[in-house]
Structure 1
Amino acid sequence: MTPSRDFAAELDDMKTQLADLALQVRQLTGAADTGAIRAASARQDLPAAAYTPAETDKSSSSSGELYYSGHYNQDNARFRWEPKSRSVNQILSTDGEKAAKVVGALGHKQRLDIIRTILQEPMSGAELVERLNMGTTGQLYHHLKALLGADLLQQDDRGGRYSIPRHRTLPLLLLLAAASDLLDASDYMDMTEVRGNSSAYLGSTEGKHDPHALLGAVLENSLLEHNAGYCTEVNIYIHDDSRVTVADNGRGIPARAFPGADTDRSWLQTVMTDLHNRTATGASYTVPGGEKGISIAVVNALSLHLQVETRWDGSIIRQDYSHGIPRSALTPVGTTGETGTSVTFEPDPELFSSAFDRETVEKMIAERSAMYPQLTLRVHV
């Protein structure tokens, strides 16, 4: 039996392709501005060249337009939105006080959980309490009342299931999509907090901190790989410009998407920027007087520059950071049959007292060699 075709879905896909084609034509003819092209290419449907800034009409008062459309399936019903656009000028002129109220109303985790859950499936109050593990209905109905009053929820009838009004569904999905694209901002805020509270990680000091504590933290990740049975050799290179490199022959940090993540952010970037995910960041190194352990993400936050290179799955992939914030995408730089990770970093001179000292590093390595006799550790100057 031949399966039936979903003509509505095919029509949606065709409309999306036509909208994207129209954007490309407008770009080629000079009618499309950079903002519109960036908005469309954010979906990764357009080629990389679409990111290239184009000449704009300086006589135009418009700052650009955002284009959006989509479809959404729920309860055997299909919602479709025709392609729409809104000028950037209009978006930026939105009443700030009212916008803050909207964002504030949705800025509560439990309210977002309610919205995300009901977007997947309309539910009754009792079902929401059970699904979200709220414990009591009183806590739930406090948030439901606010969402109902804001016209972000509707109820079938008294005691019935809650659902999202049709005209609110697309804006909420777009808001969640934008939040998903900004998830890494929370990690970068954490990075800034680490820099402002460095003594909690490095111990209290009247002057600047000892940079060798960061070296110990990076080395700890290689030792963790050795303990897992994958790393047999670690090389430490002390450079003349206040940098140091730790290179091991472990498995290499995977460059694929981190499993279970809300975004397509790579495992590598998660390791380098997530201060709280102990599974992702692996080892943690503690110095005397430090209240918190130093993970490799902390090292990244406290480094003026950091470059990580992973040899994984036949490729050599590199990424650069400054103060914990990526300054480049994951960049393939070669192929290899080897595996391992190399981290080169320069501690921030505003926080650290001096360059790396050869004798101090060699003493550190001698201590580790005694603790791990099956691991080869070398220092290169």
Structure 2
Amino acid sequence: MVTTHDWSDDLDTHHLALVRENAAVYGAGGLRHMILEVLAYANDEAEARCSVGLAVVSMTDDGTVTIADDGRGTDTRLDQHGKAVRKPVMATRDIRFFDVADGPTLPDGLPRRGMSTVAALSSVLVHENRRSNGTWTQTYRYGIPDAALHALPRAPRTGTVVTFRPDARIGGPTRLMSGDARAFPWLRLEMRDRG
């Protein structure tokens, strides 16, 4: 049953192109909004576990952002051939949020649209998920995967790490505002500048 993403297709090039072609709409709110989109998923994950989670937001001078949380990691399953398949959150639309009428808004007052908008508007995005049964990574350029999901040595803790660099066309706020953390009651946020 499809609840957030359609697992039958791990890449929706039409959706990603739509987001890129309308960067002024989907990139409104700038880097701040992109960070909020990622944090909303971490908050959902912590709420599902009924436990306040930790999300660490790190920024570098070149505009690269890394958001690491201590959740369960992005859902990853083995197909009938034993190949790892991850929920396609980066390259397909989130059916709960993308262009739905009266959908939820994020702390900046803009609609929540899903992680695929962050991927589609990033020159590079690396998604690492650390599950109890393994760790995998995948790199995307404007939402298109560079290669297949790649297994890594199992991490000591579960969680998700998303590192992205927004396209140069994305303007707007580049930092979270002081009240943004209150919108994520299931997260404890830590901010770090890495120079």
* TM > 0.5 fold call: yes
User: Which residue of the partner structure matches residue 91 of structure 2?
Assistant: 273
Match of residue 14, structure 2, among 172, 185, 189? 189
The C-alpha deviation readout for 1:197-223, integer Å capped at 9, x for no partner, is 1233344xxxxx622111111111111
User: Which residue of the partner structure matches residue 201 of structure 1?
Assistant: 26
Deviation at 1:184, TM superposition (A): 5.1
Deviation at 1:284, TM superposition (A): 6.5
Match of residue 319, structure 1, among 104, 115, 138? 138
CA distance in 2, matches of 1:230, 1:308: 23
Match of residue 309, structure 1, among 117, 128, 139? 128
Compared CA separation, residues 230 and 252, structure 1 to 2 (3 A): farther
Compared CA separation, residues 237 and 276, structure 1 to 2 (3 A): closer
Once the two structures are superposed, the pairs formed by residues 23-34 of structure 1 within 5 Å of their partners are none
Once the two structures are superposed, the pairs formed by residues 90-129 of structure 1 within 5 Å of their partners are none
CA distance in 2, matches of 1:232, 1:330: 26
Match of residue 377, structure 1, among 180, 184, 189? 189
CA distance in 2, matches of 1:312, 1:323: 25
User: Which residue of the partner structure matches residue 42 of structure 2?
Assistant: 222
Paired residues in the alignment total 176
Identity %: 27
Deviation at 1:285, TM superposition (A): 5.0
User: Which residue of the partner structure matches residue 345 of structure 1?
Assistant: 164
Deviation at 1:368, TM superposition (A): 4.1
Match of residue 299, structure 1, among 118, 141, 160? 118
User: Which residue of the partner structure matches residue 169 of structure 1?
Assistant: none
SS in 2 for 1:336: coil
Equivalent pair of 2:51/2:186 in contact (CA under 8 Å): no
Compared CA separation, residues 316 and 285, structure 1 to 2 (3 A): farther
Deviation at 1:370, TM superposition (A): 3.7
The CA RMSD over aligned residues, in Å, is: 3.0
Work out whether 1:240 is the aligned partner of 2:52.
no
Compared CA separation, residues 256 and 246, structure 1 to 2 (3 A): same
User: Which residue of the partner structure matches residue 100 of structure 2?
Assistant: none
Compared CA separation, residues 242 and 222, structure 1 to 2 (3 A): same
Equivalent pair of 1:314/1:336 in contact (CA under 8 Å): no
Query: Is there any run of 5+ residues in structure 1 with no aligned partner, and where?
Result: 1-182, 204-208, 259-263
Deviation at 1:227, TM superposition (A): 2.0
SS in 2 for 1:273: coil
CA distance in 2, matches of 1:194, 1:276: 13
Compared CA separation, residues 284 and 327, structure 1 to 2 (3 A): farther
Query: Is there any run of 5+ residues in structure 2 with no aligned partner, and where?
Result: 1-8, 98-102
Compared CA separation, residues 300 and 271, structure 1 to 2 (3 A): same
The structure carrying a bigger helix percent of its residues is 1
Equivalent pair of 2:130/2:136 in contact (CA under 8 Å): yes
Deviation at 1:232, TM superposition (A): 1.6
| Structure 1 runs (4+) greater than 6 angstroms displaced | none
Compared CA separation, residues 345 and 231, structure 1 to 2 (3 A): farther
The structure carrying a bigger strand percent of its residues is 2
